Amino acid sequence: MKHWLLAAALLAAGLGCMGDAVAQPAVQEQVDLDMTARIRQEAFQRSQVMALLDHLTDVIGPRLTNSPAMAKANQWARARFSEWGLANVHDEAVEDLGCGWQFTHADVQMLSPRAMPLHALPKAWTPGTPGAIEGEAVQAKLESDADLAQWRGKLRGKIVFLDEARPYKPGDKPDFQRYSAAELEELLTFPMPRARTADPQALARMRERLVMAPRINQFLSDEGVLATVSISSWDDGIVRVMGGGSRKAGEAVGVPALVMAAEHYNTVVRALQRKEPVRLRLDVDSRFLDDSNQPGYNTIAELPGSGPHRNEVVMLGAHLDSWHAGAGANDNGAGVAVMMEAMRILKAVGARPDRTIRVALWTGEEQGLLGSQAYVARHFARFEEPDDPQQRALPPFMRQQRGKLIKLPGYDKISAYFNLDNGSGRIRGIYAQENLAAAPIFAEWLKPWHDVGATIVTQRNTGSTDHISFDAVGIPGFQFVQDQLDYFSHVHHTELDVQDHAVADDLKQAAAIVAAFAYHAAMRPQPIPRKPMPDAR
């Protein structure tokens, strides 16, 4: 018989009935230390996590949704899963994700008032230039119909700088951060949530941006603008760049659109403010790969269950897509490598889980959790469209109002979903997402990992990644607490998101903990408790 570490799961079992009789004893949460030890040994001594990350980032490279590199990543992941002996390895289509796009280089030079190379990269889903082009730089605000009317007929042949100059802001925090004991303690406090009400002004601004984007793109094309340039949202020469134009077939894509390092952008704007003529040369090799909306693909694999709950499932996941400027190493190659390594570890140690353990590598996360949302809607649950037409006009992840929840047959068969998507920092605990009953279970599972820094269970919610697709419909979905490292100071959505910024020992630790959480969730006599669903309306 295996050796078990037994501890009270206080909230999971309730606090007992305090009356005239003695309180009911708490249910004991089981932690398999034999399996935990095997997982640790495989993860720490025979790790393949960095080899996985190396191939994904240095060999395949950035994996923009529906790009050729994303297709290569899907194929490569399937091959690894099959090589390890996992079951049900397949890609599942996510329809109408838009056109494929890729770029190879962007060369930007200031020719006058003095010669200077400028650091800039194109926004995804924007056209390239027909070779090297030259034009005069101007500064113009183009955000509303009134702005378009003001500049109509004045921008032909111009390179338009869209933003104001921004003063340099010296950093007041270390570039590379790990949680201190005090910061972890602070994470255990729960800030009172704000009322879940829509801000009419914020919604109006959001709708205006959605409406204006295609109008602005069409205006730029119609007016013969050569290109646009925006300022990077980060300083220190880092270009933080995402999408522009349009990935949807049939919509106006505008003109070549670049994001420029803030210090170089400011240099150009200061020259314009001095009324000096600024002439630039641009050569941007970017292109659309098709002219119709194409499906993207989630990659799925399983370690089949072998017990009485084999028809139930525990899921792990991370998004395989990335932005295009770097190599997508930390956002989210690190999460992909950890989840793949966790599955390899479980197979290597001979785990025979009761429930099936399924891994999903998502597409389209960067465009709004599209891959995971489609998967949840197809297999587990979805909301009816909201009554409010203004809410229906918003992307689902932005809506404040939701319709009735429609549960599918698989809804009661999934126990939990675990996600990793905050860079390559080691796991320090887990966000319980206000699931009080799950917290003491996770606290027991973490005890064998205190010696490698994973200690806390916080009731706080964290968002902006794929566990939200599950949590939103009432399925227990969780994201791990991770050390930030330089994720939000250097690499997030920038050209510096490369393998050099990933920490091997942190990824080994994370893969081991994920494997252990998946195994223990699959072996529990009961599924992970579910928190009450809020009123959807």
Q: Do residues 98 and 248 make contact, with C-beta atoms less than 8 angstroms apart?
A: yes
Q: Is the pLDDT of residue 387 over 90?
A: no
Confidence band, pLDDT 50/70/90 cuts, at residue 385: confident
In tens, the pLDDT along 47-62 reads 999 999 999 999 999 9
Please answer whether residues 509 and 427 qualify as being in contact, where contact means their C-beta atoms are separated by less than 8 angstroms: yes
What is the model's pTM?
A: 0.93
Range list of H helices, 92-197 = 145-151, 181-187
pLDDT at 22: 35
- What average pLDDT does this structure show over 173-192? 94
pLDDT band of residue 207 (cuts 50, 70, 90) is confident
Which is more confidently placed, 118 or 19?
118
| Identity of the amino acid at 415 | S
Element (H, E) at 469: helix 467-471
* Digit-coded pLDDT (tens) for 324-353: 999 999 999 999 999 999 999 999 999 999
pLDDT of residue 25: 40
Bridge partners of 36? none
Q: Which range among 113-122, 127-136, 393-402, 482-491 shows the weakest confidence by mean pLDDT? A: 393-402
Q: Is 39 helix (H, G, I), strand (E, B) or coil?
A: helix
Q: Which residue has the tokens 């909306």?
A: 293
Q: Convert the pLDDT of each residue in 451-473 to its tens digit.
A: 999 999 999 999 999 999 999 99
Specify the higher pLDDT residue, 205 or 496. 496
Q: What is the pLDDT of residue 199?
A: 66
- Report the distance separating Cα 327 and Cα 241, nearest Å: 13
| pLDDT score of 209 | 84
pLDDT of amino acid 143 = 96
pLDDT band at 535 (very low <50, low <70, confident <90, very high): low
Identify the residue with better confidence: 330 or 19.
330
Residues 221-260: tens digit of each pLDDT: 999 999 999 999 999 999 999 999 999 999 999 999 999 9
Q: What pLDDT does 208 receive?
A: 83
Reported as a pLDDT band with limits 50, 70 and 90, residue 6 is very low
Q: Calculate the average pLDDT of the chain.
A: 92
Pick from 173, 512, 525: nearest CA to 338: 512
Tell me what pLDDT residue 204 has: 74
Q: What is the pLDDT of residues 73-82, one digit of tens each?
A: 999 999 999 9
pLDDT number for residue 98: 95
Q: Name the nearest CA neighbour of 520 among 87, 9, 46, 41.
A: 9
pLDDT at 374 over 90: yes
pLDDT the model gives residue 211: 87
CA-wise closest residue to 499 among 337, 361, 298, 299? 337
**Residue range 267-291: average pLDDT?**
97
Q: Is the pLDDT of residue 21 over 60?
A: no
Question: How far apart are alpha carbons 404 and 395 in whole angstroms?
Answer: 17
pLDDT at 210 over 70: yes
